[in-house]
Structure 1
């Protein structure tokens, strides 16, 4: 019989992250690519040479023409520019390859670390944090980190290289105007930044309206069956239309403000550029400071380029802030303390199936009363235990304790005489199968769903045996593609009973020593349930089985029935014994005798 694959080992990042500054986390993420990133900077520098070299060569060519220098200087400058332009293409390809490799590797490792961490976080954590929030962290937050890194590289490096290159060229060619640039260019950028800050509130308002629209559309799609069933289409559309109107108003206001900002910024920068051009031209005209006609063009060009570079760096601030906030958001998962700790504990290599609950109890965090308390029960290997009780009696909590999703807050649970607190629960669960009340299937074939988690190759005979035992063969063979039929997302193409029988087959193919059935037959009709009860009667032999059910047909054949109230055991015994006593079991059974 196939054995389940071993549990994945945790990666380095999820244990490394301990709440440090996001930049330190990013540095850690990119540590394996340090050499590659240094090469990225070098390659980008070569690729970017034409941006700051073009104004200098343009100035040289103009001076050659105006001052009637030898024409060979013109060809030399043109040739140098063509050379660096030709270098741009291979350097750009190399830069894109190196940068993409580092960023995509980082994104993969970050997503992998999040997924690993979620696998080890306790069931209580997953009950508190919605699946949608975790999905957003894995998909959108990591994407925001990737975008921040990509744009910081593409735009940030370009702006820094333009600033450094331009200031070096100006300092070398016309050092007398360098102080002017160091004052006027930052001042121009700050003035534009001041104008831009006015639209931040409108951006925030528009973003919130878009989020409300997303929420409203999601709500509408979820409620479509109810909406159509009650003829409420107009009501649903009216609710969405109101939100669309708010999005329209906020978007229009933002567009007008952006247009105003763009126009004012353009006028301001071009006015300063005209002032720079005019000032340098006047200085050149009167022959002051040794500035030539080519220098005038170069200074004017560099003023525009350097101002634009400073603006680029300022505009990167929101992108960087968003990316760093995403790193913090990811850190909420990576540093969540609610972990199932298995490191250094005893590995379970063999299970007989004896379970002992000794004074066991559990209280959920912030709960007023314990869900299970004073629970004492010894279960022999191969024994079938049925748990019975009203909703809230503690049955599901007891199963979660047995599986190891939660740990007792008092007392202990022994597996074959060993305290489960000292065992590696990942290895213990290789001998355990669970069929939950709501069957969970993924979008794949029937074969893939039933054999999920098995290693060592597919055993067709074992697969067929499990399907036969779960009474699933009859409908699987009628499907057009048989075992290779795709079940759809969450098994949407199958009926409830069919999904549940596949979930039972998935549990049985693992050949477990301990079997947990949580309302496993609740979705079956009477005919299917009768057939599966016969199969379960054969398959539970030699296994320790815990059953939670409300149907009398499911629990009456159990070796012992445990009746629970308010987290305590009130009576135990076989079906006939409990009926003869006339206690809680016999009393609560009256409305269900027909089950």
Structure 2
């Protein structure tokens, strides 16, 4: 957005960018238009009663501060009390209803943002930290809340109040009123000049808050690493720098936000001074102005300053809200991961073929995969080995379409996966990786993740038994209902792996990806996990990525990768006899494992 100016005491709706953002934001209010009408009517009533007090003062002073009749002595005070009692109810209703509308708007935005996050491509998560995304969903929407509730209430109510008081002042003395309005251009120019600076500063503030959230998320998530490597000072320094950037952004906001109010007050004071001079001059020399009219006019004019001040201040709130809305809408407008396939595969037989597949990561000149041709029969186990960066994980990431190849095709049962819907494709694939992801929920919920409405407790127990997990689950205090903590922090690494295997068993997909599933486990845990994997792999087309070559000796075929190419292929014994790269890797690993400790 390049044109960010505000005009007068509200955002410049003649600016296409601001008008588009604010109109889109108000579109979320449209489903609650009936409640909004109720709130608006309450605000109209509130504004209409604002000029009552100066009118009463005008009336009483012109009557010599005498009641026209004895009944008016008590009727006027009681009438004022009754009027302002009803006015108080109207103020409460408008505030409550607008808060109800705003809470629904914020809830809807957060739900849409979360739904969008679930559908964004893998690349987006590689480019953006979780902390920055959390900041958008949590903090940016809070500023939307302020702009949508307090901002709209103040803008509507005070604008109507302003109009009502101006109407009353024009009726009393239109010439003096026009003099009062002469300060308008000064106020407008001031707000225009500082509006863009405020919005730009708000954007920097949101970015800084994202950095703060990111550092918090990293430091708390990696607290063991921080402690064992003595990283407290480093993390503290990072956090101090991030909070200092946020403070500087806040101060950049404070300058334009603070300067508009005193300038508005000064301009208003000059206007009042001129009017008092003219009124006193008329009374002294011409006797034109009555005391009641003069007091009523001055009272109304002074009352005019309050809504004018609040409108100037609410401009800052709305400006921040527009900046937050811009940040939110940028996220909502991101294209979801491509899902143009229309075909439904059903349950796949499991034949997989890579045909001359080439792939490079976005913004990278290096080719990650080059000319990959692999033909895998249903039920076959394919092991991928090679140095880090050789393309193993990239290859299996293409299968569920986390990324799409620049050229070539990947086929399942003879069908190009680009022609399949994502849901149909991914229903046929299970994944067990080294970095097991568990949710802060019960054991049962983690095993049945994504299919809890299909599988009952008996199915979950059967999967847990097959994964060699039922023994430790049964020993837990609450069994299947036991919470595992954030990412399974309450259980061991081997137990986490077995829960992930149970999850894959329960899904029962015909194609399986094992990404270093036994890495970094102790001998006993590895034995149990390997036994569970043997059950899981039966009858499934399996792609195994492994650094520990002893775990893939029984694979139907081993593919050795280097710099994005398959340089060797065959069974374990064949590759050893070949004496090539695989034999070299095997020798190095054997020597490492055989070395005395």
Both proteins in one fold, TM over 0.5: yes
1:133 paired to 2:132: yes
Which residue of 1 is the match for residue 104 of structure 2? 105
Which residue of 2 is the match for residue 365 of structure 1? 362
Query: More deviation in 377-386 or 269-278?
Result: 269-278
CA drift of 1:89 comes to 4.3
CA drift of 1:375 comes to 0.9
Aligned length: 575
Give the secondary structure class of the aligned counterpart of 1:403: coil
Change over 3 Å in CA distance of 1:230–1:520 after alignment to 2: closer
Which residue of 2 is the match for residue 589 of structure 1? 586
Which residue of 1 is the match for residue 303 of structure 2? 305
Which whole-Å deviations, capped at 9, do the CAs of 1:106-152 have from their partners, x for residues lacking one? 22222222222222221112211222222222222222222111122
Give the secondary structure class of the aligned counterpart of 1:509: helix
Which whole-Å deviations, capped at 9, do the CAs of 1:73-112 have from their partners, x for residues lacking one? 4555445433432323443343234323332222222222
1:330 paired to 2:319: no
Give the secondary structure class of the aligned counterpart of 1:107: helix
Q: Pairwise mapping of residues 433-448 of structure 1 onto structure 2 (< 5 A)? A: 433-448=430-445
Change over 3 Å in CA distance of 1:146–1:543 after alignment to 2: same
Which whole-Å deviations, capped at 9, do the CAs of 1:151-205 have from their partners, x for residues lacking one? 2222212220221110112223444532233225x378579979999x989x99x
CA drift of 1:485 comes to 2.0
Counterparts of 1:266 and 1:231 in 2: how far apart (Å)?
A: 54
Counterparts of 1:454 and 1:236 in 2: how far apart (Å)?
A: 40
Q: Pairwise mapping of residues 33-432 of structure 1 onto structure 2 (< 5 A)? A: 33-66=32-65, 69-183=68-182, 186=184, 214=212, 218=216, 229=228, 276=275, 280=279, 283=282, 288-289=287-288, 291-337=289-335, 339-343=336-340, 345-432=342-429
Counterparts of 1:191 and 1:564 in 2: how far apart (Å)?
A: 66
CA drift of 1:223 comes to 7.9
Q: In 2, are the aligned partners of 1:469 and 1:532 still within 8 Å (CA)? A: no
Which whole-Å deviations, capped at 9, do the CAs of 1:400-451 have from their partners, x for residues lacking one? 1011111111110111111111110122212221112211122222222221
CA drift of 1:340 comes to 2.2
Which structure has more relative contact order (CA 8 Å, sep 6+)? It is: 1
Query: More deviation in 18-27 or 215-224?
Result: 215-224
Counterparts of 1:208 and 1:122 in 2: how far apart (Å)?
A: 23
Root mean square deviation of aligned Cα:
4.1
Which residue of 2 is the match for residue 7 of structure 1? none
Which whole-Å deviations, capped at 9, do the CAs of 1:235-267 have from their partners, x for residues lacking one? 887898899999999999999999999999878
TM-score relative to the length of structure 2:
0.83
Q: In 2, are the aligned partners of 1:497 and 1:523 still within 8 Å (CA)? A: no
Query: More deviation in 90-99 or 348-357?
Result: 90-99
Change over 3 Å in CA distance of 1:310–1:530 after alignment to 2: same
Which residue of 1 is the match for residue 505 of structure 2? 508
Counterparts of 1:52 and 1:23 in 2: how far apart (Å)?
A: 31
Change over 3 Å in CA distance of 1:247–1:321 after alignment to 2: closer
Change over 3 Å in CA distance of 1:385–1:234 after alignment to 2: closer
CA drift of 1:299 comes to 2.0
Q: In 2, are the aligned partners of 1:356 and 1:379 still within 8 Å (CA)? A: yes
TM-score relative to the length of structure 1:
0.83
Counterparts of 1:182 and 1:223 in 2: how far apart (Å)?
A: 60
Structure 1 alignment gaps of length 5 or more: 1-17
Which whole-Å deviations, capped at 9, do the CAs of 1:465-486 have from their partners, x for residues lacking one? 2222222223323332222222
Change over 3 Å in CA distance of 1:252–1:112 after alignment to 2: closer
Query: More deviation in 495-504 or 249-258?
Result: 249-258
Change over 3 Å in CA distance of 1:469–1:372 after alignment to 2: same
